Amino acid sequence: MMNLPETKLKRLREAICYSRRKLMPFRQQRYDAIRQYVGFHYSDDGTSDRVPVNLLELAVNIYTQQMAARAPKALVQTRFGVLKPMAADFELALNHLIREIRLGQTFRLAVIDALFSMGIIKTGLERRASVEIAGYLHDVGQPFAEVVSLDNWVHDTTATRLEQCQFMGDRYRLPLELVKESKAFKNTDGLQATVKTAYNESGDTKAESLSHGTETDPDEFKDHVELWDLWLPFENLLVTIPAEGEGKPLRIIEWDGPETGPYKILSFSEVPGNIMPLAPSALWMDLHDLANRLFRKLGRQAERQKTVLGVQTGSEDDGDRIVRANDGEALKMD
């Protein structure tokens, strides 16, 4: 395993903490927008007010259907007749891989994430030959593409463009026992189980708490540990460190892949001089909020509305006949 100087590792941890704090307002805005998106009836942690006209859900569905309606398909062609059978086999293999790793679902989730903040996809080649610990869809020797939530993301917020970032990475959870048994990781003796929580280290609520709840210590079947995968573009290194504590790196390898790194980022509206994009949901929130406040007000007015009939003293019998009469019925009045 390659080495990273202790002083450099310490500064990297400090930079991660700083950037995570700077990303907190964006995570909070994303959480608030997703909470409006799921509405009042999704779970106990949905919106506190009813959402009779969910304009966010309508907009997200329209954009998603237009941008990621179905899984992509590969088309392999060649001008050389002798290579056409091989091209056809390659096309079948690519399309089979796309279905097996559910790339269409990954694209769909990335588009939805980009509508609320930024869509992040982590790509790579699964090389761990000892045991599959990154998910049941990750086969050894197979490419993978998975969505990274903004709650589990960090990048160098001192940069003004992604190309200037000195680091970027994602946090994930793995079974502690499997991490210690895996030959892909070193320095695992001191690893401790990480308690799953509904809050980030800055105190902001994770979006996953909308369905998981806000319990700080849920009952898990197995002990898990949280790790950071960090890509250092200028050093061309991929570093794995524990998310908690000051433990030694578990893995340091040279990045052998595209120059743009393992992370692909989708955003819609760039903001000049700022690394964070403007999410479409930020533009829709005011209209969504206004429409629902007006509809709730109309509902309260309709519930309070009454039709009252007044009768003179001594004409109670006429009033009773009017109350009991059907629509269009002729009445005899005294």
What string of DSSP letters covers 57-92? Answer: HHHHHHHHHHH-SS--------S-GGGHHHHHHHHH
**pLDDT exceeds 60 at position 137:** no
Least confident window among 172-176, 243-247, 277-281, 315-319: 315-319
Total domains present in the chain = 1
CA-wise closest residue to 103 among 125, 127, 126, 121: 121
Question: For 35-73, what is each residue's pLDDT tens digit?
Answer: 999 999 998 888 889 999 999 999 999 999 999 988 999
Percent of the chain with pLDDT over 90: 61
The three-state secondary structure class of 112 is helix
Which pLDDT band, with edges at 50, 70 and 90, does 214 fall under? confident
Amino acid at 95: N
Parent domain of 250: 6-289
Which pLDDT band, with edges at 50, 70 and 90, does 330 fall under? confident
Average pLDDT over residues 291-295: 95
Which pLDDT band, with edges at 50, 70 and 90, does 322 fall under? confident
- Would 120 be classed as within a structural domain? yes
Average pLDDT over residues 300-318: 83
d(Cα 250, Cα 239) in Å, to the nearest integer?
Answer: 8
d(Cα 24, Cα 17) in Å, to the nearest integer?
Answer: 11
- Would 113 be classed as within a structural domain? yes
- Would 112 be classed as within a structural domain? yes
**pLDDT exceeds 50 at position 130:** no
- Would 101 be classed as within a structural domain? yes
d(Cα 139, Cα 129) in Å, to the nearest integer?
Answer: 9
Which pLDDT band, with edges at 50, 70 and 90, does 223 fall under? confident
- Would 149 be classed as within a structural domain? yes
Q: What is residue 149's predicted lDDT score, i.e. its pLDDT?
A: 95
Q: What is residue 327's predicted lDDT score, i.e. its pLDDT?
A: 80
Q: What is the overall mean pLDDT for the chain?
A: 89
- Would 251 be classed as within a structural domain? yes
- Would 167 be classed as within a structural domain? yes
- Would 127 be classed as within a structural domain? yes
Q: Count the neighbouring beta carbons within 10 Å of the beta carbon of residue 110.
A: 23
> For residue 256, how many C-alpha atoms fall within 13 Å in the half-sphere facing its CB?
6
